[in-house]
Amino acid sequence: MTAPDLKPSFVYVTYIAAPAEKVWRALTDGDFTRQYFFGRRMKSDWKVGAAWALLMEDGRVDSGGKVLECEPPRRLAISWRVEWLEEYRKLPEAVVTFDIEPVGEVVRLTMTQLSAPIDEKFLEGGRQGWPVIMSGLKSLLETGKPLTMPAPQPPKAKD
């Protein structure tokens, strides 16, 4: 499903005390994502080939792409293009996958970002952001309360 030149550029593993179905919902339902994904709403009808979008609070598109694989509540793979930052828009699409595996009483959530060979500076935002997002998701599911982390700001314009 993925282009051959894509390689893992970031992997994050976390264990969450919640059923796989709930983790799936937290990843795919905008009312959940808004609470831990820097206020962003995830929107899609989650069918293979369908579009998805991550919407900012003012309605602008943060990122979007297509659903590549959708096997609730086990695996989700989506192509990913950052839309809200001009210089990211022209980059080759990345692929982001989420794998949810029950391990005893908890689930292991593995998120992987696969990227084309691009300048490392474009990968830094994701490497900083994903641990915040994944930590917030775990807190929300285990405690009912999200973390209170500030949303990322666009890089300063160089003019």
Partner 1 sequence: MTKPSFVYVTYIRTSPEKLWRALTDGSLTRQYWAGRHVESDWTVGAPVTFWFDGKMSDSGKVLECDPPRRLSYSFHVEFVEALRSEPPSRVAFEIEKLDAQVKLTVTHDEFEPGSQVFAAISGGWPVILSALKSLLETGRSIFPNSAAAHRAKAEA
Q: Which residues bind partner 1 (CB under 8 A)?
A: 13-17, 101, 103-106, 108, 131-132, 135-136, 138-139, 142-143, 145, 147-150
Q: How far is the CB of 118 from partner 1 (least distance, A)?
A: 21
- Tokens linked to 154: 């666009």
SS3 content of the chain, % helix, strand, coil (to 5): 25, 35, 35
Residue placing its CB nearer to partner 1 in the complex, 106 or 116: 106
* CA 101 remoteness from chain centre: 17
Residue placing its CB nearer to partner 1 in the complex, 70 or 109: 109
User: How many C-beta neighbours within 10 Å does residue 61 have?
Assistant: 15
Q: How far is the CB of 124 from partner 1 (least distance, A)?
A: 13
Residue placing its CB nearer to partner 1 in the complex, 89 or 127: 127
Q: How far is the CB of 74 from partner 1 (least distance, A)?
A: 15
Residue placing its CB nearer to partner 1 in the complex, 22 or 66: 22
Contacts of the segment 142-149: beta carbons below 8 A, 24+ positions apart: 142/16, 142/17, 142/18, 146/35, 146/36, 147/36, 149/38
Q: How far is the CB of 12 from partner 1 (least distance, A)?
A: 8
Residues 6+ positions from 66 with CB-CB distance below 8 Å:
49, 50, 51, 52, 78, 79
